[in-house]
């Protein structure tokens, strides 16, 4: 199967064609440098994204911002958002505190990126 | 009878506690300034980073990827560690050319300061609808992308459900994703130019990931709605950016977000008589970030709009150190070489270089600017008078990415004092548009 990938490493934005067979990269063409190869290989087989959002804090006007500690599989973004949306938290919260553990069985925690005392 | 307030003496006074102001404060304190004060209008430090909850900050400076609030917190922690006084909720009303600063706050009332040096770090603002001349009604539902970002991320409100975004700057792209993740339908991102000014990374991860169309060479030609926005009309534009009749498409939407550029916020600078550059819309500065008014410095987005906060911090460290040295009475070189934009180059900063005296140390000097359009395989050249003193080949140059180059200390010392010109030599090709 052929996949078109736009490189995100620099402003050139090379359009690369990746041949994927059975979840394995067979060939990558169109890259301008070797950073493109790494990116295209990851992106065509198992794309991942950081998810960032906010969670409301009981009794506070300002929500607390959160992120997945590391990128999660792209197809789980909306499931992850649904979990984050349901989270109920109370102050005090410190930057780095775990808000949702192992979100959607990704093995990745959602953590606070802000301190609310 | 009225009493004039006795001004409080401050060695270095910084206007703004966003990333620029905080970095400048840290550098000034580290350079030895004891009597240092930062004034901030908002109730908290951190500036615009507070609402930039997405990741991607700090790769250059910290070699790791942080969210906006995390990046800001590192500077806030350092400022606290250094015991720097920051007065939040304090709005500066006036800065004069002799560095008298008037501010007001709810808890202290009017305050007047006499500063040894002032650092302007007020940041920038978004270009509003009024600057665009789009026909149509004046209904609710039209927001700048940054305003919508503030509502969603800091106040927990959704500004709307069906959204069109005009302009493809990074804030617009980031908000396309943010609104989508919060359940809105983003119908299109409309860009009048043949290319996006946003990062490829954001085009892929904010638009492609969610199948949001990017309509290049298109603009909004009509806005409909009485109380609330009900729809917009989008049309294709020709090479002169004029709408082409017959190409109109209609979108039913309740929200239009504008991401059409940022303008340095120089109201206070103008009051102080600081000369501004038409190209950057920020102050004219020398290589120490000093404006044409002695003792008044400028850094960050109030000086020129940056793409990355890492570079705002780097620039502001320089300004903080230079302001500390000025306040302590350090002299700088007297001979000045003006720096001008050559062909293909817009808004070189600094606009002046102080040539060091024979017996004082010379430092390498970084020049930053924006390419006027997209160039492939072009050469950046720097001329001292007619003599070439620097050249570098670039695979790609684009207006969306600030370009920079560094003149070595030996080159700086050897400057003739004639006009320095930075230009892009594209080998005859005028513009290469990315398709």
Residue-wise pLDDT tens digits, B1-50: 455 678 999 999 999 999 999 999 999 999 999 999 999 999 999 999 99
pLDDT of residue B10: 98
Structure tokens belonging to residue B229 = 């926005």
CATH of B128-260, one of 3.30.565.10, 3.40.50.720, 1.10.3210.10, 3.50.50.60: 3.50.50.60
Would you say the CATH fold of B333-435 matches that of B128-260? Answer: no
β-pairing, B109-120 with B8-15?
parallel
Go through B47-82 and write b for each residue having 16 or more CB atoms within 10 A of its CB, e for each that does not: bbbbbbbbbbbbeebeeeebbbbbbbbebbebbeee
List the single residue in B181, B203, B395 with the smallest CB-CB distance to A81.
B181
Determine phi and psi for B124, rounding to 5 degrees: -135, 175
Q: Which two tokens mark A41?
A: 């290989």
The candidate with the shortest Cα–Cα distance to A100, out of A80, A117, A114, A116, is: A80
Cα–Cα separations (whole angstroms), residue B287 to B163, B337, B366, B368? 43, 10, 8, 11
Residue B65: its chain A contacts at CB < 8 A?
50
Least confident among B7-11, B29-33, B179-183, B409-413: B409-413
Locate the chain A residue with the closest alpha carbon to B179. A53
Q: What is the pLDDT of residue B1?
A: 46
Which helix (H) or strand (E) segment is B371 a member of? strand B365-371
By DSSP bridging, strand B255-258 and strand B142-144 are: parallel
**What does pLDDT average to over chain B?**
94
Separation of alpha carbons A31 and A46, rounded Å:
19
Distance CA B257, CA A71 (A): 28
pLDDT of residue B378: 92
pLDDT > 90: percent of chain B: 84
Q: Report d(CA B101, CA B88) in Å as an integer.
A: 16
- Containing H/E element for B202? helix B200-202
- Number of CB atoms found within 10 A of residue B329's CB: 7
Instruction: Domain B1-126+261-332: give its CATH code.
Output: 3.50.50.60
pLDDT at B431: 60
Q: Is the Cβ of B42 closer than 8 Å to some Cβ of chain A?
A: no
Q: Please determine, for residue B433, whether its predicted confidence score (pLDDT) is greater than 70.
A: no
- B-chain residues near A8 (CB < 8 A): 199-201, 204-205
CB < 8 Å to A63, chain B: 153-154, 156
- Asked if B219 and B249 count as a contact pair (C-beta separation under 8 A), the reply is no
Average confidence (pLDDT) over B375-397: 93
Mean pLDDT lowest for which of B166-175, B197-206, B326-335?
A: B326-335
The pLDDT-based confidence of B435 (bands split at 50, 70, 90) is very low
DSSP state of A112: E
Q: For the CA atoms of chain A, what is the radius of gyration?
A: 18
Q: Do B396 and A11 touch (CB under 8 A)?
A: yes
Q: What is the ipTM of this complex?
A: 0.92
CB contact under 8 A, A54 and B156: yes
pLDDT tens digits for B65-109? 999 999 999 999 999 999 999 999 999 999 999 999 999 999 999
Contact B209 A49 (CB under 8 A): yes
User: What's the pLDDT score for residue B331?
Assistant: 76
**What is the Cα–Cα distance from A28 to B104, expressed in whole angstroms?**
61
What is the secondary structure of B44-88 as a DSSP string? SSSGGGGG--SEEE-TTTTSS-EEHHHHHHHHHHHHHHTT-EEE-
The reported pLDDT for the residue numbered B376 is 86
**What value does the mean pLDDT of chain A take?**
92
A92 pLDDT exceeds 70? yes
Contact between chains at B152 and A6 (C-beta distance less than 8 A): no
Burial-class residue A17 by CB neighbours within 10 Å (0-12, 13-18, 19+): middle
CA distance B233 to B96: 47
Q: Where are the domains of chain A?
A: 2-46, 52-112
Residue B332 has pLDDT above 80, yes or no: no
Provide the pLDDT for residue A32: 85
| C-alpha distance from A108 to closest chain B C-alpha (Å) | 16
Place of tokens 């005009």: B166
Pick the CATH number of B333-435 from 3.30.70, 3.30.1490, 1.10.1200, 2.60.40: 2.60.40
Percent of chain A with pLDDT over 70: 99
Residues of B in contact with A113 (CB under 8 A): 53, 67, 69-70
Shortest distance between the Cα of A53 and any Cα of chain B, in A, equals 7
Pairing of strands B335-341, B420-425: parallel
Q: What's the pLDDT tens digit per position in A36-77?
A: 999 999 999 999 999 999 999 999 988 999 999 999 999 999
Which pair of structure tokens corresponds to residue B246? 């017959």
- Write the DSSP symbol of residue B13: E
Range from A29-33, A73-77, B273-277, B307-311 carrying the lowest mean pLDDT: A29-33
Q: Write the burial class of residue B156 (CB in 10 Å: 0-12 exposed, 13-18 middle, 19+ buried).
A: middle
Can you tell me the mean pLDDT for B241-256? 97
- Residue B428: is its pLDDT beyond 90? no
Tell me the average pLDDT across B231-248. Answer: 96
Residues of B in contact with A56 (CB under 8 A): 156
Residue B84's CB is within 10 A of a number of other CB atoms, namely 19
What value does the mean pLDDT take over residues B264-277?
Answer: 97
CATH topology of domain A52-112: CPE0013-like fold (3.10.530)
Average pLDDT over residues B144-167: 96
CB contact under 8 A, B156 and A62: yes
Pick the more confident residue, A26 or B358: A26
Residue B308 has pLDDT above 80, yes or no: yes
């Amino acid at each position: 199967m052929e996949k078109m990938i736009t490189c995100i490493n620099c402003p050139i934005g090379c359009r690369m064609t990746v041949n994927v067979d059975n979840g394995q990269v067979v060939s990558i063409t169109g890259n301008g440098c070797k950073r493109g190869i790494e990116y295209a290989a990851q992106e065509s087989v198992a794309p991942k994204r950081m998810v960032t959002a906010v969670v409301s804090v009981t009794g506070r006007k300002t929500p607390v911002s959160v992120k997945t500690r590391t990128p999660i599989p792209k197809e789980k973004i909306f499931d992850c958002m649904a979990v984050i949306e349901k989270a109920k938290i109370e102050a005090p919260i410190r930057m780095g505190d775990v808000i949702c553990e192992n979100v959607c069985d990704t093995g990745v925690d959602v953590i606070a990126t802000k301190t609310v005392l | 009878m009225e009493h004039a307030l006795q001004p409080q003496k401050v060695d270095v006074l910084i206007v703004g506690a966003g990333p620029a102001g905080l970095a400048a404060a840290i550098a000034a304190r580290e350079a030895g300034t004891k009597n240092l004060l930062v004034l901030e209008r908002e109730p908290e430090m951190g500036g615009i980073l507070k609402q930039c909850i997405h990741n991607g900050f700090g790769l250059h400076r910290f070699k790791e990827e942080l969210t906006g609030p995390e990046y800001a917190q590192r500077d806030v922690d350092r400022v606290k560690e250094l015991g720097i006084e920051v007065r939040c909720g304090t709005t500066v009303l006036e800065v004069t050319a002799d560095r008298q600063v008037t501010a007001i706050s709810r808890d202290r009332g009017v305050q007047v300061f006499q500063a040894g040096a002032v650092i302007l770090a007020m940041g920038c603002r978004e270009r509003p609808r009024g600057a665009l001349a789009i026909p149509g009604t004046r209904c609710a539902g039209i927001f700048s992308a940054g305003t919508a970002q503030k509502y969603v991320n800091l106040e927990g409100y959704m500004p709307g459900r069906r959204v069109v975004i005009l302009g493809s700057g990074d804030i617009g792209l980031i908000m396309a994703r943010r609104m989508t993740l919060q359940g809105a339908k983003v119908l299109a991102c409309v860009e009048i130019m043949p290319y996006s000014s946003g990062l490829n990374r954001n085009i892929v991860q904010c638009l492609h990931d969610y199948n949001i169309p990017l309509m290049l060479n298109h603009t909004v030609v009509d806005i409909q709605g009485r109380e609330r926005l009900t729809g917009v009309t989008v049309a294709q534009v020709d090479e002169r950016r004029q709408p082409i009749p017959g190409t109109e498409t209609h979108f039913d939407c309740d929200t239009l977000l504008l991401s059409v550029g940022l303008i340095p916020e120089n109201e206070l600078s103008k009051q102080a008589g600081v000369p501004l550059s038409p190209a950057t819309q920020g102050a004219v500065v020398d290589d120490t970030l000093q404006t044409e008014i002695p003792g008044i410095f400028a850094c960050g987005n109030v000086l020129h709009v940056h793409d990355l906060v890492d570079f705002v911090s780097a620039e502001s460290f320089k300004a903080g150190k230079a302001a500390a040295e000025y306040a302590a009475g350090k002299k700088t070189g007297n001979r000045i070489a003006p720096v001008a934009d050559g062909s293909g180059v817009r808004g070189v900063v600094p606009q002046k270089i102080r040539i060091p005296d024979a017996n004082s140390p010379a430092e390498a000097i970084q020049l930053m600017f924006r390419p006027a359009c997209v160039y492939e395989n072009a050469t950046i050249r720097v001329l001292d008078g007619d003599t070439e003193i620097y050249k570098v080949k670039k695979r790609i140059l684009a207006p969306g990415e600030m370009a920079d180059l560094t003149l070595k200390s030996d080159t700086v010392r050897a400057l003739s004092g004639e006009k320095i010109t930075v230009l892009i030599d594209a080998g005859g090709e005028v513009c290469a548009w990315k398709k």
